[in-house]
Amino acid sequence: MSDKRVVVVTGASRGIGRAVAVALSGPGAEVIVNYRSGREAAEETAAAVSSVGGAPHLMPFSVADAEAVKEAFKEILKVHGRVDVLVNNAGVARDNLLALMKGAEWDEVLDTNLKSIFLCSQAVVKAMMKQRYGRIVNITSIVGVMGNPGQVNYCAAKAGIIGLTRSLARELISRNITVNAVAPGFIETDMTRDMPDKVREGLLSQIPAGRYGLPEDVAAAVAYLVSEGAGYVTGQVLHVNGGMFMG
């Protein structure tokens, strides 16, 4: 059994997940780098984790696949004996106006962004309860609070994450397990890179900070929530958006 801090980050091959994996690395961290299919990118994350002293472990599986999640966490717990930190970050967007949205677009987004958090949290929660220690951070979004045309599926999933976070926080705080959410605004990643220039400029004009966010901005918020000093903070939604929305 590992006596190091065991950290699981879903969707850690790119973007925010990679920055979170690096921010939570450091000497004494075993970092499980989950991804779905982007092996090369995941290897880059692993190299970045190693460069700051963490021990990376690549684990490809789909967070939307109940059986795959069960198997993966069984393996993680067999090898490491514990999970201290779970960051539910994996997510996808499949944008469309509601009038045109296909059932498959709704299902994929709800399964990957929301059901995944039910599955991954359920897979670690018993171990965390036994340990009497755990930190769970769920990545929601500014649009889960504000709404956004063309994203009813994504916004429903992200709003659902907030309800799940608050309920689970109430279930688990007596066992010294905190559950919080981080709500990024507009962050520079593959997810937002292909937006038309006009849309990007329109968004920028709504950000008082005068710049888009970086994955590292979000990672710093996650690092705070999993820190020892945040042990009395639970059920919260920490907005990281340059002042675009204040909730």
Beta bridge partners of 69: none
**Cβ atoms < 10 Å from Cβ of 221:** 19
Query: Does 92 help bind ligand NAP (rule: CB under 6 A)?
Result: yes
Assess 15 for contact with ligand NAP (CB under 6 A). Answer: yes
Residue 193 Cα distances to 10, 119, 185, angstroms: 21, 29, 14
Which of residues 150, 192, 200, 214 is near ligand NAP by CB under 6 A?
Answer: 192
Q: What is the DSSP string of 98-118?
A: GGG--HHHHHHHHIIIIIHHH
85 contacts ligand NAP (rule: CB under 6 A): no
Give start and end residues of each alpha helix (H) in the chain: 15-23, 39-51, 66-80, 103-110, 116-131, 143-146, 152-172, 190-193, 197-204, 215-225
Q: Could you tell me how far CA 33 lies from the centroid of its own chain?
A: 12
φ, ψ for residue 8, nearest 5 deg: -115, 125
Q: How far is the CB of 93 from ligand NAP (least distance, A)?
A: 7
Question: Is residue 153 close enough to count as binding ligand NAP by CB under 6 A?
Answer: no
Is residue 224 annotated as part of the catalytic site, yes or no? no
Of 133, 154, 224, 232, the active-site residue reads 154
If binding means CB under 6 A, how many residues of this protein chain bind ligand NAP? Answer: 32
Stretch that binds ligand NAP, among 8-16, 69-77, 166-174, 199-207 (CB under 6 A): 8-16
Considering only the stretches 4-12, 46-54, 117-125, 227-235, report the one whose residues sit in contact with ligand NAP under the rule CB under 6 A: 4-12
SS3 of 127-144: the string is HHHHHCCEEEEEECCCHH
Per CB under 6 A, the list member of 7, 24, 90, 120 interacting with ligand NAP is 90
Cβ proximity to ligand NAP, 17 vs 242, nearer residue: 17
Query: Closest separation between CB of residue 192 and ligand NAP, Å?
Result: 4
DSSP code for 174:
G
Q: Which residues bind ligand NAP (CB under 6 A)?
A: 10-17, 34-38, 41, 62-64, 89-92, 112-113, 139, 141, 184, 186-187, 189-192
User: Active-site residue numbers?
Assistant: 154
